[in-house]
């Protein structure tokens, strides 16, 4: 199964086809939505998209890791990580398409 990547251009084209905005307006709309999501996450807010999932930022503390080659202990600095949790609706849709294609 060859994986295909959906790009910003693909999203803009989908908006253009479905909504009827011009291609430039569609691209601006997609950019605006993505910027709003990014800005909210940078501010530490959770982003919930109904029937899709939620994005949040989690703080990870400092910890000790190991260099797998040398076994030397190395400190891993504290950082923020992006977490995505798919909604049950999205999970069910993905699993339903899987069972249809394998049957």
Contact between residue 40 and residue 47 where contact means Cβ atoms under 8 Å apart: yes
Calpha distance 92→35 (Å, rounded)? 28
What is the per-residue pLDDT for 3? 81
> Burial level of 57, CB count in 10 A (0-12/13-18/19+)?
middle
Contact between residue 74 and residue 66 where contact means Cβ atoms under 8 Å apart: yes
Calpha distance 31→35 (Å, rounded)? 6
First to last CA, the chain: 16
What is the per-residue pLDDT for 101? 64
Q: Is pLDDT at 84 greater than 80 in this prediction?
A: yes
Q: Taken in order 83, 87, 92, 97, is the CA torsion positive or negative?
A: negative
Mean pLDDT, rounded, of the chain: 93
Q: Is pLDDT at 103 greater than 60 in this prediction?
A: no
Q: Is pLDDT at 81 greater than 60 in this prediction?
A: yes
State the average pLDDT over residues 58-65. Answer: 95
């Amino acid at each position: 199964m060859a994986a295909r990547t959906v790009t910003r251009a693909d999203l803009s084209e989908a908006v253009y086809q479905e909504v009827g905005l011009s291609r430039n307006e569609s691209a601006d709309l997609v950019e605006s939505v993505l910027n709003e999501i990014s800005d909210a996450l940078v501010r530490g807010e959770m982003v919930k998209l109904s029937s899709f999932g939620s994005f949040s930022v989690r703080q990870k503390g400092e910890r000790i890791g190991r260099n797998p080659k040398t076994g030397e202990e190395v400190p891993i600095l504290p950082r923020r990580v992006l977490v995505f949790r798919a909604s049950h609706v999205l999970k069910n849709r993905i699993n339903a398409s899987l069972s249809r294609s394998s049957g």
